[in-house]
């Protein structure tokens, strides 16, 4: 098999998987319109990646929490590195190939597995070669260190976007200058100019999207909670991949209206609802379907994910697009709760969520490749224990299934549900 065939086949495999899921969903009587919309968006996303390489387009591979609205406004095709690895694990189940390649590329097992996987994908040229690499220190050290090696693997230039830890006026002004430098870099290497009107439109869309995220969070407070566990990744990644895009707004409007209807009808994601859970960090991607079935069996639902989906609305100003892009970066839940010094506001958010969502227990998915979040396990656990919320700490990996088996996860979950039942 030639290199070009290898690259094409992996993107085509993701496209085929998206289309297969869409066909299956169309035949599911319980499938919601928003779920169909999401996989159509995913299909379009990877199709754009494929076309960018076939039609001499410009492909920018970027790490998590990079402001993709800048790329869309410039007509540059984005490739989200971590989500591509996640999607491979979720839809194709061939993450072992990427992780093995990452080991061949020199990635130590202690490094975040999505980053090991994406390095392996570029190392073996299983992913299309990027024209530029864009990376940032928001929110993790793995992302901050990934860029230089990815530039080497792709034989391309790159830009590191330095995001300050604080949100003072001076730090926000610094971030605006970082964005200006990055835009100049992209204009130089892509030959494309920033479309400021388009960026302003994206900011207007993001303003709607943040408000919709907050409204959906409010709806999830209902008893029973209307949002199913299996759809967590949709709700999480719609901003990662489609921020500022009209189709993301349409998806969120549809999802909000579906949940509002369920709340009005007093319908929950599980029946009967027995256990309302708080989720800290991301569950293993490859176990999403398994966890959905297990939660349905035990009447459990994740009502809130404070570190990832707990959005708070604050208006953006389309007339100041770069300042608004900076402001939005501070509104991202992960930025508020997992970046920089861990302050009392983060602990208060967790207490507030426990109270407002009336949770019975919490599951902390302790992803061993994420050092800075695992360092918070005891602090978060102590905070919740103070308000009598039991916590299950489940050591796991996002995409590597060799860390623990389904049977091990099931045994620990069942014991936790028994504990909740006895309270």
Q: Would you say residue 72 has pLDDT above 80?
A: yes
Most trustworthy range by pLDDT among 119-123, 232-236, 295-299 = 295-299
Average pLDDT value for residue range 375-397: 94
Q: Where do the domains of the chain lie, and which CATH numbers do they carry?
A: 3-194 (3.40.50.11890), 197-422 (3.40.50.11900)
Nearest to 130 by CA among 181, 63, 70: 63
Give residues with Cβ within 8 angstroms of 393, minimum separation 6.
364, 366, 377, 381
Q: Would you say residue 4 has pLDDT above 80?
A: no
Q: Would you say residue 5 has pLDDT above 60?
A: no
Phi–psi pair at 161, nearest 5 degrees: -95, 110
pLDDT band (50, 70, 90) for residue 85: confident
- The pLDDT assigned to 200 comes to 98
Average pLDDT value for residue range 34-46: 96
For residue 302, give the H/E element and its range: strand 300-304
Most trustworthy range by pLDDT among 209-223, 277-291, 329-343 = 209-223
Say which DSSP state 167 is in. Answer: -
From the CB of residue 195, how many other CB atoms can be counted at a distance below 10 Å?
Answer: 14
pLDDT band (50, 70, 90) for residue 8: very low
Q: Which of 88-97, 98-107, 158-167 has the lowest mean pLDDT?
A: 88-97
Average pLDDT value for residue range 78-104: 90
Average pLDDT value for residue range 19-27: 93
Q: Would you say residue 141 has pLDDT above 90?
A: no
Dihedral, CA atoms, 135, 137, 142, 146, nearest 10 degrees? 30
Write the pLDDT tens digit of every residue in 158-194: 999 999 999 999 999 999 999 999 999 999 999 999 9
pLDDT band (50, 70, 90) for residue 30: confident
Give residues with Cβ within 8 angstroms of 214, minimum separation 6.
311, 312, 313
Enter the tokens of residue 145.
Answer: 């260190």
- The pLDDT assigned to 403 comes to 85
- The pLDDT assigned to 56 comes to 81
pLDDT band (50, 70, 90) for residue 337: confident
Write the pLDDT tens digit of every residue in 277-295: 999 999 999 899 999 999 9
Dihedral, CA atoms, 250, 251, 255, 258, nearest 10 degrees? 60
Please give the residue that has the higher pLDDT: either 4 or 422: 422
Q: Which of 87-91, 187-191, 410-414 has the lowest mean pLDDT?
A: 87-91
Q: Would you say residue 370 has pLDDT above 90?
A: no
Average pLDDT value for residue range 22-29: 92
- The pLDDT assigned to 172 comes to 97
Contact 386, 356 (CB under 8 A): no
Mean pLDDT (the chain, rounded): 93
- The pLDDT assigned to 9 comes to 59
């Amino acid at each position: 098999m030639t290199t070009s065939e290898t690259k094409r086949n992996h993107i085509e495999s993701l496209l085929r998987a998206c289309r297969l899921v869409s066909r299956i969903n169309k035949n599911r009587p319980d499938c919601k319109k928003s779920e169909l919309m999401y996989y159509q968006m995913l299909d379009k996303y990877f199709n754009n990646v494929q076309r960018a390489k076939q039609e001499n387009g410009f492909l920018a591979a970027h790490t998590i929490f990079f402001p993709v609205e800048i790329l869309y406004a410039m007509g540059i095709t984005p490739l989200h590195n971590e989500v591509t690895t996640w999607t491979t694990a979720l839809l194709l189940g061939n993450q072992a190939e990427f992780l093995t390649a990452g080991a061949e590329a020199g990635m130590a097992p202690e490094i975040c597995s999505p980053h090991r996987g994406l390095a392996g994908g570029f190392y073996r040229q299983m992913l299309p070669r990027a024209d530029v690499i864009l990376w940032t220190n928001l929110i993790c050290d793995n992302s901050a260190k990934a860029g230089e090696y990815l530039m080497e693997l792709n034989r391309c230039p790159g830009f590191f976007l330095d995001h300050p830890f604080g949100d003072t006026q001076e730090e926000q002004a610094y971030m605006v200058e970082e964005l200006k430098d990055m835009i100049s870099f992209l204009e130089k290497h892509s030959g494309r100019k920033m479309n400021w009107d388009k960026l302003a439109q994206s900011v207007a869309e993001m303003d709607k999207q943040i408000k919709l995220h907050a409204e959906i969070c409010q709806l999830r407070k209902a008893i029973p909670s209307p949002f199913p566990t299996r759809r967590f990744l949709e709700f999480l990644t719609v901003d990662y991949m489609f921020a500022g895009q009209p189709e993301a707004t349409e998806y969120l409007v549809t999802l909000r209206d579906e949940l509002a209807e369920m709340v009005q009808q007093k319908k929950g994601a599980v029946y009967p609802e027995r256990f309302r859970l708080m989720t800290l960090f991301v569950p293993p991607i490859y176990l999403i379907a398994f966890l959905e079935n297990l939660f349905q069996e035990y009447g459990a639902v994740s009502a809130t994910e404070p570190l990832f989906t707990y959005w708070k609305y604050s208006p953006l100003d389309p007339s100041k697009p770069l300042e608004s892009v900076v402001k939005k970066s501070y509104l991202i839940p992960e930025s508020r709760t997992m970046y920089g010094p861990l302050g009392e506001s983060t602990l208060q958010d967790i207490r507030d969520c426990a109270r407002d969502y009336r949770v019975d227990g919490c599951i902390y998915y302790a992803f061993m490749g994420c050092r800075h979040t695992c360092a918070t396990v005891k602090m978060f656990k102590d905070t919740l224990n103070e308000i009598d919320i039991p916590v299950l700490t489940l050591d796991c990996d996002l995409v590597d299934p060799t860390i623990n088996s389904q049977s091990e996860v099931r045994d620990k979950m069942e014991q936790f549900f028994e504990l909740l039942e006895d309270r």
